[in-house]
Amino acid sequence: MSIVVATTSPGFGRHGRLPGLLEETGWEIIRCVDNTLPDGGLSRHIDRADFLVAGLIPVTAATVSAAPKLRAVLKHGVGIDSVDVAACTARGLPVTNTPAANSNAVAELAVGLMFSLARNIPHGHMSVVSGGWDRRPGVEVSGKVLGIVGLGNIGKLLARKAIGLGMTVVASDLYPDRAFMAEHGIELLDLDALLARSDYVSLHVFGGTGNAALISADRLALMKPTACLLNLARGEVVDNDALAASIAGGRLRGAAINAFVTEPPDISHPLFKLQNVVFTPHSGADSLEAFENMGRMVIDDIKDFVAGKRPSRVLNPEVLDR
């Protein structure tokens, strides 16, 4: 019997050794990645799928109710806020993700965005390619304070890199790894204190209603006017209306945005008119190494499910105990 795998993740199985590994499995891969459709085309094929490899397109109760053959939902990534785990659990569907597989890729992008803001790299590029020669002095990150909001796998890797650059690192985390923080000289602060102290603030928390507008107008007002905000979390974590007003009013130096509430975003928003904001298309995990790591983990988990084994990365293991 052929196994049908539907995926809404554009990068799943496309890089490194993964195309060959997928070909060896004999699975039918259905790629639901049509950007002109709200669900990438998933609704057209979900009724045939044995497994769903989920990207950023939401997996809802309606999705799983339309999938009579579905055996599991596998997130091609770490954050599962786009997956209705409760609905999957009610249907008896295990949900997996790929913890730490893309952590280094996201941490490296955070460093790159920080340098882009510090040294005005996007503006310099546009100046040269348009025939200009506008040399704007930037700042050095060495000696500056980096505030990391969410000191998980990504936050820890970013902290190590920042310390290597000569930065002081402070962090805010609901469940701090105190041993790690002590080892690396990282001070634990509440969020408001972190915002007030930091020269750069990098967000690495989960999305969802609990963190909606976590960085609000009131909290942006706590930041230094010379500070920059980096959102590598989820779009809803930052009030972008307030962010645009803060930057336009000179109350914040700049920002880098990698995630948006609606993707692609509405570029008529005032944020996109500002020169000192850098945008990337939710590409934190988009390195060849990360794609191979994530894909390998997903393939291994599907193989385990097919063989009747229990994958180690199931997030709702109670469905396997029924």
CA distance 123 to 86: 45
CA distance 58 to 64: 11
Say if residues 207 and 258 touch (Cβ distance below 8 Å). Answer: no
Catalytic residue among 234, 236, 253, 292: 234
Name the H helices within 67-202. Answer: 85-90, 103-118, 121-129, 153-164, 178-184, 191-197
Provide the token pair at 313: 């990365």
CA distance 76 to 239: 27
Closest CA to 128 of 116, 140, 120: 120
Annotation marks residue 71 as catalytic: no
CA dihedral 170, 175, 178, 179 (to 10 degrees): -120
Annotation marks residue 282 as catalytic: yes
Catalytic residue among 31, 197, 282, 313: 282
List b or e across 229-265, with b for residues whose CB sees 16 or more CB atoms inside 10 angstroms: bbbbbbbbbbbbebbbbbbeeeebbbbbbbbbeeeeb
Provide the token pair at 234: 């989820």
CA of 137: how far to CAs of 96, 114, 161, in Å? 46, 15, 24
Using the Cα atoms of residue 297, residue 160, residue 217 and residue 116 in order, give the sign of their dihedral. Answer: negative
CA distance 206 to 191: 15
Annotation marks residue 263 as catalytic: yes
Which H or E run includes 245?
helix 240-248
Beta bridge partners of 6: 30, 52
Distance of CA 285 to the CA centre of its chain: 7
Catalytic residue among 136, 263, 269, 310: 263
- The residues that are catalytic are 234, 263, 282
